[in-house]
Structure 1
Amino acid sequence: MKQLTLLMLALAAACSVGSAGNSSIEDSRSRQSPASSQPAVVPTGYVTDAAGIIDATREEALSKRLYALEQATGHQMVIVTVPSLDGQDISHFTTALANAWGIGRAENDDGVVLLVAPNERKVRIAVGYGLEKTLPDALCGHIIEEQMLPRFRQGDLATGIEAGATALINQLT
């Protein structure tokens, strides 16, 4: 219980707050939290496009880049789109998702979640404490404002997501 409390406190900050976890995407299904606090999204890999806005070719390319990032740096990043936040605040939703999926390495608290909820017109970059110096709030806000939102406003959500992911990957490498 003490570890869970410390983890929850650790997730309360960085790039629009939150993220972290411990291990790989593939192992995350066995570590999900109880349904009451768990987002109703099931991880499918480095890119989970539950909102259906990323074409298969781009999804595969992004997944390969995120896998390569993890192999090169140890940092784990996922991209998630959801059709709905189910009335939750995006900050809470993303933190719960990161915890349920176990994004990043627990000992390093170095997970990153790029979440887009197109129906609510919300986007968030959640960063574990271990990466907040590399990806501070101001930089994440800049990536959202300068790289993602202009493309979203043009109706090209997939390109905006890709631009945001590219900026984050570049910063992490």
Structure 2
Amino acid sequence: MKKINIIIIIIFLTHLTSAQHGVSELPSPKEKGQEFFVSNPDYVINQQTEDSLNVVAQEIELKSSSEFAMVIIEDFIGDDDFEYALEVFKSWSIGKSQNDNGLLLLVAKKRKVYRFITGYGMEGVLPDAMLKRIGETYLVPNFQEGRFDEGMLKAAAAIHTILTGDVESEELFAKTLQSSFWDRNLENLIYSLLIFLLGFMILKWMSYQIIKKVPIGKKPTNQRSDVYQQFRA
């Protein structure tokens, strides 16, 4: 009985350890062949979704020569998701070397984070504002509800649309520009509103202090105030 318990504990600890991946231990999809682009060692998404994502990435490479790699894991070793994703991007040499047109999407389920990494050749086609829009539109709401398969498929479809030059990408880009304007200026607008409210409160307090200094039963000497008081009476 004790041996069985020990075996169960060992299996459990092994599972926990395997769910946290270092860059060097993370399985590259290219180990299966050049037509594979998805690393899903913890089976966060099902096999059918993984196959569909590979097909999407294959079409992207065929039509645009860009390479879109996806990593979906439970957790990773380290504290910084950006540094981890960047190391994976460099280690796997994602994208064609002459064009630097690689794109990586890292999803860490346990940490509830995702991260896009792009090569310099992709920045004009997929700027940060557009990737942020894709993440907020397709990844975040689905991931929050535990729908990792749906989130990945929808985000990959949006990226496919943009990189293959479909007309629909223009509409998405227009929406991205509109949302990015508010993203850039929202903080300034909030500060301006706070300053306005603070100034209004100060003016109101100063007016209250002036009124307090006027003796009760006596009219203020200001003629405009007299007229105002007489009109009210």
TM-score (norm 2): 0.56
Matched, 1:55 2:55: no
Q: Are 2:38 and 2:54, in contact at CA under 8 Å, matched by a contact in 1?
A: yes
Matched residue of 1:88: which SS?
A: coil
Matched, 1:96 2:95: no
Extract unaligned runs of 5+ from structure 1: 1-36
Q: Are 2:102 and 2:119, in contact at CA under 8 Å, matched by a contact in 1?
A: yes
Q: Which residue type is aligned with residue 114 of structure 2?
A: V
Query: CA–CA distance in 2 between the matches of 1:96 and 1:142?
Result: 24
Q: 1:42 aligns with which of 4, 27, 31?
A: 27
Q: Which residue type is aligned with residue 56 of structure 1?
A: Q
Matched, 1:81 2:64: no
Q: Are 1:39 and 1:93, in contact at CA under 8 Å, matched by a contact in 2?
A: no
Q: Which residue type is aligned with residue 139 of structure 1?
A: M
User: Runs in 1 of length 4+ with deviation above 2 angstroms?
Assistant: 37-40
Match of 2:155 in 1: 164
Matched, 1:105 2:96: yes
Match of 2:169 in 1: none
Q: Are 2:78 and 2:84, in contact at CA under 8 Å, matched by a contact in 1?
A: no
Query: CA–CA distance in 1 between the matches of 2:72 and 2:48?
Result: 16
What is the RMSD computed on CA atoms of the aligned residues?
1.4
Rg bigger for which structure?
A: 2
Q: Which residue type is aligned with residue 82 of structure 2?
A: S
Residues 6-155 of structure 1 correspond to what in structure 2 (within 5 A)?
Answer: 38-44=23-29, 45-155=36-146
Q: Which residue type is aligned with residue 105 of structure 1?
A: K
Q: Are 2:86 and 2:117, in contact at CA under 8 Å, matched by a contact in 1?
A: yes
Residue 85 of structure 1: how far off its partner (Å): 2.0
Matched residue of 2:69: which SS?
A: strand
Query: Larger helix proportion, structure 1 or 2?
Result: 2
CA displacement, residues 98-146 of structure 1 (integer Å, 9 cap, x when unaligned): 1111110111110001110001101011111101011111111111111
% same residue: 27
